[in-house]
Amino acid sequence: MTIQSVIFFDIDGTLLNHDKELPLSTKEAIYKLRENGHVVAIATGRAPFMFKDLRRELDIGTYVSYNGQYVVLNDEVIYTKPLNLQSLEKLTEAALKHDHPVVYMDHEDMKANVPEHAYIKESILTLKIDRYPTYDPHYYKGRELFQSLLFCPEGEEKRYEQDFPDFDFVRWHPVSVDVLPRGGSKAEGINRIVKKLGIAPERHYAFGDGLNDMEMLQTIRNSVAMGNAQSKVKEAARYVTKSVEDDGILHGLQLVGLL
């Protein structure tokens, strides 16, 4: 009899290859995990509306989104951690002075504080999603936001890190950083799920490739870095599998003995 485990997968560069496609070997491996009685979950920096189709394709109803700020177990929201709106308003004012646009994001949509900007287009289009932020500079008012995007060249986020201690800034693109509540992480979101599931730590697994996966990989007992990950991400994990382009998920699941 199979002992139930829970496996968390990042999306970009982990489940999806660099063309934002789901390899057939990955899809079949996910189905096999579920057939064997395991809990399959997602842990991503993406907003929930950015991976609806993927959840539907893989039949996944448990996920950590916004790098831990919006957590769902079996299609029910169990934890949220919104941004401080007063600090976000001040951040927006500061960013406008430097021609750094901001995108506001809740669980349903995203809106930009400027009508258009080259940085927004350059970064958002790399996600290859069917959603693009439209203009609404007041979208942050009167609603809970779980992440913002600050668009600025590499290194320029340092000024914001010093002035806005309520936030963590995590770069995901050469001209864009995630703005998150201080101390929020995929690891914290995962912790909320595993406590509810009651699965022992030795049966926790996580796969990732990005800088925002490092705390998750350091925290989860059986962590696997993708072969396409940066060296410091690989150093944070217990195991290293092949590249996402080279059946990395299937190989990694075999490596840790789940398949």
From edge to edge, which strands make up the β-sheet containing 167-173? 134-135, 110-112, 102-105, 147-150, 176-181, 167-173
Helix, strand or coil, per DSSP, at residue 55: helix
* Per-residue pLDDT at 184: 82
- Annotation marks residue 10 as catalytic: yes
The answer on 248 and 131 residing in a single domain is: no
The answer on 203 and 157 residing in a single domain is: no
The answer on 139 and 16 residing in a single domain is: no
The last residue of one of the domains, among 129, 154, 181, is: 181
Q: How far apart are CA 164 and CA 182, in angstroms?
A: 10
The answer on 89 and 177 residing in a single domain is: yes
- pTM metric for this prediction: 0.91
The domain spanning residue 196 has which CATH number?
3.40.50.1000
236 pLDDT higher than 80:
yes
Instruction: Return the number of other C-beta atoms located less than 10 Å from residue 259's C-beta.
Output: 16
Give the confidence band of 179 by pLDDT, cuts at 50, 70, 90: very high
The last residue of one of the domains, among 181, 199, 227, is: 181
Give the confidence band of 172 by pLDDT, cuts at 50, 70, 90: confident
* Per-residue pLDDT at 226: 98
Mean pLDDT within 11-33 = 97
Sign of the Cα pseudo-torsion (138, 169, 234, 255, in order): negative
* Parent domain of 144: 85-181
> pLDDT of 133-160, one tens digit each?
999 999 999 899 999 999 999 999 999 9
Mean pLDDT within 18-33 = 96
Give the confidence band of 243 by pLDDT, cuts at 50, 70, 90: very high
Contacts of 58 (CB under 8 A, 6+ apart): 22, 27, 30, 31, 40
Which of 10, 168, 178, 209 does the annotation list as catalytic? Answer: 10
The structure tokens listed for 255 are 């490596």
The answer on 68 and 97 residing in a single domain is: no
> pLDDT of 67-112, one tens digit each?
999 999 999 999 999 999 999 999 999 999 999 999 999 999 999 9
Closest CA to 188 of 44, 83, 67, 95: 67
Mean pLDDT within 50-61 = 96
Query: Which residue has tokens 């395991």?
Result: 38
Residue 41's identity, in one-letter code, is A
What is the overall mean pLDDT for the chain? 95
* 1 found inside a domain: no
* Per-residue pLDDT at 1: 57
The answer on 190 and 171 residing in a single domain is: no
Give the confidence band of 245 by pLDDT, cuts at 50, 70, 90: very high
* Per-residue pLDDT at 183: 87
The answer on 188 and 73 residing in a single domain is: yes
Mean pLDDT within 114-118 = 96
Work out how many domains the chain is built from and give that number: 2
